[in-house]
Amino acid sequence: MTRMQSSARSPALLVGVAVALISGCGSSVNAASVDSSPSATPSSVIPVVASTNVYGDIVVQIGADKVDVVSIISDPAQDPHSYEASAQNQLVLSKAKVVVENGGGYDDFVGRMLRSAKNSSADVIDAVDVSGKTPSAGGELNEHVWYDFPTVGKLADRIADSLAKAAPADADVFQQNAKTFKEELTSLQDKEARIEADHAGAAVAVTEPVPLYLVEASGLRNSTPSDFSEAVEEGDEVSPRTLQHTLELFTNKQVEALVYNEQTAGAQTEKVKQAAEDNSIPVVPMTETLPQGEDYISWMTANVDALKSALDS
């Protein structure tokens, strides 16, 4: 998640009951009750903390009723880059046996909080490390690896292994759930392959790099000026020249769709969105955190389907 540009989406402190605690029944990370007291987690259930509800949901898909998951960030208005820990966050982290973070500089607050919580025994799973991805030559790492389905498949296996170490008697359950989850990821990759078969090389624009792994896996070409998407990601002002070059992608109809991060809307990204709409270029909204009422697979299915529909129109 990037630094928010809109004053309506300024970073907020997560305090008190704002932490979403998963009740361990496999339900959505957005719909769980809140209780992070030490007595809330039965001894037979593995306490897990995830930096965002994206990773929290993946843990639930694999751990089912054997895990009790706290997702620290589930609100689009919260920014991992500037997140400040609360006492309750540190309490649940002090009890966690497994911690899942994105890594790559995306959610550095997790490491700081773990050190403050003095929990050195937790198994910390870093999604970027699991991915094996490194910065491109002369560029920066795209840390938004949850939009990369092969990485998420590797992460599922890593989570299953970690849970199995914490609860060996349930290892078969975790491995089977990971297998089922990865089969659903394969279906998503098949959808990407269909987009590539129909639209290989098609040019699209993005407001920032969040969905690029999905875009590239679908055989599409990102035509956005890098200065534009990087400035948006860092919360910086886009130069007038760069903004003009970006708007020309739509006025000159050089792209077939705009993939738009709804969670970092600001004056300049709104201008880009308006330019796309004014020139009848489809806008595909995507988000960084899990929408209310969705799980990871249903969310990503909707994202891929929306991209395909935009390109087919």
pLDDT tens digits, one per residue of 251-272: 999 999 999 988 877 899 999 9
Rounded to whole angstroms, how far apart are CA atoms 106 and 121?
Answer: 23
Res 304 pLDDT > 80 = yes
Rounded to whole angstroms, how far apart are CA atoms 75 and 298?
Answer: 18
Question: Over the chain, what is the mean pLDDT?
Answer: 86
Would you kindly state where each structural domain of the chain is located, as residue ranges?
7-184, 188-312
CATH for 188-312 (3.40.50.1980, 3.20.20.240, 3.20.20.70, 3.10.129.10): 3.40.50.1980
Asked whether 191 and 217 are in contact (CB, 8 A), the reply is no
Q: Which residue has the higher pLDDT, 79 or 27?
A: 79
Over residues 196-218, the pLDDT tens digits come to 999 999 999 999 999 999 999 99
Q: Which residues contact 62 (CB under 8 A, 6 or more apart)?
A: 156, 159, 160, 163, 174, 177, 178, 181
The closest alpha carbon to 240, from 267, 208, 205, belongs to 267
Q: Do domains 7-184 and 188-312 have the same CATH topology?
A: yes
Centre a 10 Å sphere on the Cβ of residue 111 and count the other Cβ atoms it contains.
Answer: 14
pLDDT number for residue 264: 75
Rounded to whole angstroms, how far apart are CA atoms 13 and 85?
Answer: 8
Does domain 7-184 fall under CATH 2.60.40.10? My reply is no
* Complete DSSP assignment for 73-97: E--TT--GGG----HHHHHHHHH-S
pLDDT number for residue 214: 98
Res 289 pLDDT > 50 = yes
Structure token pair of residue 74: 């589930």
194 to each of 94, 180, 258, how far by Cα in Å? 45, 22, 19
Over residues 44-62, the pLDDT tens digits come to 899 999 999 999 999 999 9
pLDDT number for residue 43: 64
Asked whether 192 and 214 are in contact (CB, 8 A), the reply is yes
Over residues 140-161, the pLDDT tens digits come to 899 999 999 999 999 999 999 9
The closest alpha carbon to 48, from 20, 75, 76, belongs to 20
Residue type, 175: Q
Three-state DSSP class for 20? strand
Residue 34 banded pLDDT, cuts 50, 70, 90: very low
> pTM to 2 decimals?
0.86
Res 31 pLDDT > 80 = no
Residue 79 banded pLDDT, cuts 50, 70, 90: low
Asked whether 258 and 307 are in contact (CB, 8 A), the reply is no
| Mean pLDDT within 30-35 | 33
| Mean pLDDT within 188-196 | 98
The closest alpha carbon to 307, from 231, 166, 196, 226, belongs to 196
| Cα Rg, the chain, nearest whole Å | 20
